[in-house]
Amino acid sequence: GAVVSQHPSWVICKSGTSVKIECRSLDFQATTMFWYRQFPKQSLMLMATSNEGSKATYEQGVEKDKFLINHASLTLSTLTVTSAHPEDSSFYICSARPRGPYNEKLFFGSGTQLSVL
Amino acid sequence: AQKITQTQPGMFVQEKEAVTLDCTYDTSDPSYGLFWYKQPSSGEMIFLIYQGSYDQQNATEGRYSLNFQKARKSANLVISASQLGDSAMYFCAMREDQTGANNLFFGTGTRLTVIP
């Protein structure tokens, strides 16, 4: 099956620093990638949708200047949490939609646990 | 209104028995897709099964089957012959096709514990 690689798997950083999370589709081209956030024991909440070569579309309530998304190629999207604060601590997970027909499925990365001290 | 509702926060099942995880959905979009994902403690989301709104038959994938009742807007997941490795969080999700975004709306999940 299709593989989405996400790293780092976990990161601990000091308050005020920026953290970059990468999401790569390893064996397919992804026209669209999605970034989700998951708090403990809660569901996944969509943060933003990114299409290759265009600006990301952010969900209501998500600060686009804080969560920078870049989708520079059909296999790579990055999420940068700028000036991270403890309330940004969460599990972040990306998913990718393969290009072409029969692409109902979204394939997920393994997630990144961010802890901001 | 919630697009996806999972009313069972936790479920227990005896090993080798079958279990049904409930999911109801709410949409006015005539074309949509329903998904089930498994999330073990390691965090990754594992795709299990997909049902399209126009599919006539219930989807099946190995030990997983989806009991799709369109009029009732339910899409329950049935796991047959439960195994210890099935213990995980299970999320029901929906994609609305007319929005064109293809993002998924997730339910709050059900934690399944398989008892030996």
Nearest by CB to B45, from A1, A97, A108: name it: A108
Q: Whole-angstrom Cα distance, residue A40 to residue A22?
A: 21
d(CA A94, CA A44): 10
Among A26-35, A94-103, B4-13, B74-83, the minimum mean pLDDT is found in: A94-103
Which of A31, A41, A104, A105 to mutate to probe the B interface, most B CBs <10 Å? A104
- How does residue B63 score in pLDDT terms, banded at 50, 70 and 90? very high
> Least CB-CB distance to B102: which of A1, A43, A97?
A97
CA distances in angstroms from A16 to A36, A81, B51, B81, listed in the order given? 22, 10, 44, 49
Q: Which pLDDT score is estimated for B26?
A: 94
Three-state SS at B13: strand
Chain B residues closer than 8 Å to A105 by CB: 35, 47, 50
- Per-residue pLDDT tens over the stretch A49-87: 988 878 899 999 999 999 999 888 889 999 999 999 999
pLDDT at B6 over 70: yes
> Which residue does chain A place closest to B53, by CA atoms?
A104
Interchain CB distance below 8 Å, A95 and B50:
no
Q: Is the pLDDT of residue B69 over 60?
A: yes
| Interatomic CA distance for residues A104 and B2, integer angstroms | 22
**Residue A79, CB half-sphere, CA atoms under 13 Å: how many?**
33
pLDDT higher than 90, residue A91: yes
pLDDT digits over A9-53, tens only? Answer: 999 999 999 999 999 999 888 888 999 999 887 889 999 998 887
> How much is the pLDDT for B42?
85
Interchain proximity B33–A104, CB inside 8 Å: yes
B94-110, pLDDT tens digit by residue?
A: 988 876 566 788 999 99
Residue B109 contacts A, CB cutoff 8 Å: yes
Q: What is the share, in percent, of chain B residues with pLDDT greater than 90?
A: 78
Number of Cβ pairs closer than 8 Å across A and B? 53
Q: Which of A56, A8, A114, A39 lies closest to B103, judged by CA? A: A56
Closest partner CB to A43 (pick from B50, B95, B106): B106
Closest CB to A104 among B50, B108, B109:
B50
The pLDDT of residue B70: 95
pLDDT, position A58:
93
Interchain pair B101, A44: CB under 8 A: no
pLDDT of residue A99: 77
Q: Give the amino acid at B97.
A: D
Cβ atoms of A92 and A112 closer than 8 Å: yes
pLDDT band at A102 (very low <50, low <70, confident <90, very high): low
pLDDT category, B38, cuts 50, 70, 90? very high
- Please name the residue of chain B whose CA is at the shortest distance from the CA of residue A98: B102
Q: Give dist(CA B111, CA B67) in Å, integer.
A: 19
Subunit contact A105:B47, Cβ cutoff 8 A: yes
Q: What is the pLDDT of residue A52?
A: 81
